[in-house]
Amino acid sequence: MNDIVTCSLLIDDDIATNFYNKHMLLKHKAFKNVKVVREAKNALEYLKNLNNKLHVKPELIFLDINMPFMNGWDFLDEFANLEKDVIQDIKIIMLSTSNDPNDIEKALKNELIYDFINKPLSNDVIDQIIEKHFSYKIAR
């Protein structure tokens, strides 16, 4: 199993969390390129530059909720306003430490969000993401 997800984008302000999650994704081997941005506005710039062919379009975005300057909810508002060809076929998974029932409910009701997962990523959670959102059966 290689390169099921050719590019994913981690949006989280926490350096240690990004290091760990990127390591877990690349170790899993289903992920080829894992891009990391620490500010949501930088992720939006990354996505806006897709039409210029400067970046690889992510198939999957892992989005934190609580970040300075622009939080995950604000990112989603801006993301929804990007060009349709940019945002189509991108799956967003909210990856957070928040146990606030309102955050979970809001995430699951948002049509842009495919899933809500608690940090940190684990092998089992990554397997579930691949099976659920990319229709690929993981051999166990």
Q: Which tokens is 102 given?
A: 């309102």
Domain ranges of the chain: 29-134
pLDDT per residue as tens digits for the range 4-39: 888 999 999 999 999 999 999 999 888 889 999 999
List helix spans (H) across 6-139: 15-28, 40-48, 72-80, 84-87, 101-109, 123-134
Q: Which two tokens stand for residue 67?
A: 């970040």
Q: What is the largest CA-CA distance in the chain?
A: 41
Say what the pTM is: 0.92
- pLDDT value at position 1? 52
Query: 106: Cβ–Cβ under 8 A, 6 or more apart, which residues?
Result: 73
> pLDDT digits over 55-95, tens only?
889 999 999 999 999 999 999 999 999 999 889 999 999 99
Beta bridge partners of 35: 9
The whole-number pLDDT of residue 6 equals 87
Strand ordering across the sheet containing 31-37: 31-37, 5-11, 60-63, 91-96, 113-118
CATH of 29-134 among 1.10.287.3510, 3.30.1280.10, 3.40.50.720, 3.40.50.2300: 3.40.50.2300
Q: How confident is the model at residue 135 (pLDDT cuts 50, 70, 90)?
A: confident
